[in-house]
Structure 1
Amino acid sequence: MNANIPKTLNEAIRHFADPDNCLKTTIALRWPNGVTCPTCGSKEVTLLSTRHVWKCKSKHPKQQFSAKVGSVFEDSPIGLDKWFTAIWLMANCKNGVSSCEIARDLGVTQKTAWFMLHRIRLAMNTGSFEKLTGEVEADETFIGGLARNMHKNKKVKITGTGGAGKAVVMGLVDRKSKQVRVVHVPNVQRDTLQTQVRKYVQGGSYVFTDAWLGYHGLDREYVHNVIDHAEAYVQGNVHTNTIENFWSLLKRGLKGTYVSVEPFHLFRYLDEQAFRYNNRKTDDGSRFVETLAGVTGKRLTYQHLTGKDESASALS
């Protein structure tokens, strides 16, 4: 499969300009053992080549289906050629790519591009349940505007570390595999932070944190090493520099590319940056394939994305 995947953006645009190449790539990733009906799972399907859709021989509603059905592409009038270009850019632009830029590049509206990018972020969410082991760094950061840029009425409310009113993000990174887990949390209290550590880190592992009180007590389940940043940033192998490097990448994208991110959508941007970080050692084509492989079995409607569909379950 990877042998047929373009190596550069220029090659990708030319290759996927042909609808047949888009369809072949989708089939190879989604149905490696043959096309099956997404409704009943039957392999007794017939290709209607003039319309690029299949028809299931079993009698049931929605007998006809396209390659978009049952994926983040479902109900989208945008062609797969434009979708694939957007996926390539999203998977490989180190600091992300804005909806305004995608809109200009693809010839769609900014609103359409914004919706497309959020659906691609959903495809990037692998939902891995493998726990981190070995040496793991844990840290938290605040996402929000700088105090000096705030209106004076809001600035006076800021106290302590300046985190009031900002979103809190917690991250954990495995030093050996350099795999990161990142999550939007409600606060930096002990129960919140330690719950996330237990969720993502195997018991008995080495955990490295700063001296924040929220991490006190981890030594009951982990080998807890603490670096007090008031005294030093590195003491031997005790530091949190790896996760702090990830924070710099994350904030570069949020501040430089996306500029304004609603807390309601923050977890999707975290999934995006974590995906690129965890796959940074692979090439552009492999990151594209990895993202495209994640589109199946996921659905994100505009009503749910904008919070208008209250009955929908969270897609995180």
Structure 2
Amino acid sequence: MNLLNFIATYPDEESCRTKFKEYRDQQGVICPKCGHKEQYWKQDKSSYECKHCHYRQSLRANTVIHGSNLPFRYWFIAIHLLTSTKKSFSAAELQRQLGHKRYEPIWYLLHKLRGIMGKRDEQYSLLGVLELDEGFFSTQTQEEEKTETQKRGRGSQKKSKVLVMAESQPVEGETTKNGKPRKVGHIKMIVIKDLKSATITTLVREYPKNQALILTTQPLMSN
């Protein structure tokens, strides 16, 4: 979904809230008190009520946005940016784009989302042919990011080395100078201490189901 489609689909707070409830209902809401799965929706209270013990929980309860007072649309915007943009962005930049006064809630929002995405990725096993590449991501503490003392693009910024592994499958289409067209499946990104052959080989061997590896950049492995 591109940015224009996102804005058209989620134009306001109510549309995001409605979609969030739809997701919750699809996943199933469980009473944290008795474990019962059948719930009433109390429209006037904007909460669920257990049919068994009548315990009530809010729409946000026991989800990634539990305890947050930020608008639903903030969360939807952040999720869209995290999943649709290639380059990383800071909490300070998101705060600026949203026009939010306080930095800490926005940092917490991104921290929670990135944590959830990392746990989700751990559940996937990569299959078939893989493409490998290297990445470098800026690493900052919350205070460093807030004050932005490190200038964007400066070579002395703290950088984390990341090995990127992506499932790669051929698709129909004309062959170009870059080869036959392929599509990307699941992706794993792993922080590594260096880009030496031994380090990368050790990680690759953890995925015995792979049939082959395609290296997308020549300088990926060093001795």
Aligned partners of 1:27 and 1:35 also within 8 Å: no
Determine the C-alpha separation between the residues in 1 that align with 2:86 and 2:134: 22
Counterpart of 1:111 (choices 83, 104, 112) is 104
The corresponding residue for 2:94 is 102
2:77 counterpart (78, 82, 85): 85
Whether 1:130 and 2:125 are equivalent positions in the alignment is yes
Q: Give the Cα–Cα distance (whole angstroms) in 1 for the partners of residues 27 and 213 of structure 2.
A: 43
1:200 lines up with 2:176 in the alignment: no
Q: Are residue 66 (structure 1) and residue 58 (structure 2) matched?
A: yes
1:52 aligns with one of 41, 46, 53: 46
- Is the 1:142–1:167 contact (alpha carbons within 8 Å) kept by the matching residues of 2? yes
Paired residue for 2:143? none
Please report how far the alpha carbon of residue 242 of structure 1 lies from its aligned counterpart in structure 2 after TM superposition: 9.7
Count how many residue pairs are aligned between Structure 1 and Structure 2: 188
Local SS of the residue matching 1:11 = helix
Runs of 4+ displaced beyond 6 Å: none
**Alpha-carbon displacement from aligned partner over 1:42-76 (angstroms, at most 9, x marks no partner):** 2343333223112224449xx22122122210111
- Matched residue SS, 1:8: helix
The residue number in structure 1 matching 2:146 is: none
Percent identity of paired positions between Structure 1 and Structure 2: 25
Within the candidate set 162, 171, 196, 2:164 is matched to: 171
Question: Residue 171 of structure 1 contacts residue 243 of structure 1 at CA under 8 Å; is this kept in 2?
Answer: no
Structure showing greater relative contact order (alpha-carbon pairs closer than 8 Å, 6 or more residues apart) = 1
In 1, distance between residues paired with 2:155 and 2:27?
A: 56
Partner SS, residue 28 of structure 1? helix
TM-score scaled to structure 2, two decimals? 0.64
Tell me: CA distance 1:123–1:47, structure 2 relative to 1, closer, same or farther (3 Å).
same
8 Å contact 1:131–1:199 — kept in the other structure?
no
1:240 aligns with 2:216: yes
Structure 2 counterpart SS, 1:181: strand
- Residue 177 of structure 2 corresponds to residue 184 of structure 1: no
Q: Alpha carbons of 1:56 and 1:143: their partners in 2 closer, same or farther (altered >3 Å)?
A: closer
TM-score, L = length of structure 1? 0.48
**Matched ranges for 1:222-261 at <5 A:** 239-241=215-217
Q: Determine if contact 1:99/1:117 at 8 Å carries over to the other structure.
A: yes
1:30 aligned to which of 8, 12, 24: 24
Q: Distance in 2 between matches of 1:72 and 1:54?
A: 17
Structure with the higher fraction of residues in helix conformation: 1
- Structure 1 CA distance, aligned partners of 2:53 and 2:94? 41
Distance 1:28 1:141 in 2: 36
Alignment check: 8 A CA contact 2:133 2:163 kept: yes
Match of 1:161 in 2: none
The offset of 1:199, in angstroms, is: 1.9
Contact 2:13 2:71 in 1 (8 A): no
Give unmatched runs, 5+ long, in structure 2.
Answer: 140-153, 170-182
Task: Give unmatched runs, 5+ long, in structure 1.
Answer: 151-164, 209-238, 245-316
Q: Which amino acid aligns with 1:91?
A: T
Alpha-carbon distance, 1:144 to partner: 6.4
Structure 1 residues 10 and 193 mapped into 2: Cα distance closer, same or farther (>3 Å)? closer
